[in-house]
Amino acid sequence: MFIRGLLDPTEAELFESADEFSKDYAKLLEACEKSQSKAMTEVSLMETMKFRDFKAAGTEGIEQCKIRSVILPLLGDHVLREANHYIRLLES
């Protein structure tokens, strides 16, 4: 939702993608609260990898001026590094 709030309103397709990730993570967090199984870690890892790819594409689009937003490329890189860090934690 943070990323969505920084996108230009004309980026309707990215709005939809951001909304879907938000819904998926809300479901994932709810499921994680109920279970601490290895399967949940694997599901979390797969969802985070998809989210990381979304962030990478967004950062690239911002850097190449293909996406309108108030997001600075440095912030895009920061949120991408956050996803990569979380992936490393889940893989260990």
Tell me the per-residue pLDDT of 52-89, one tens digit each, with 9 for 90 and over: 999 999 999 999 999 998 888 899 999 999 999 989 98
pLDDT band for 8, please (50, 70, 90 cuts).
Answer: confident
Q: What pTM did the predictor assign?
A: 0.72
Q: What total of structural domains would you count in the chain?
A: 1
* DSSP letters for 4-45: HHHB-TT-HHHHHHHHHHHHHHHHHHHHHHH---HHHHHHHH
27 pLDDT band, cuts 50/70/90, is: confident
Q: Domain of 22?
A: 2-91
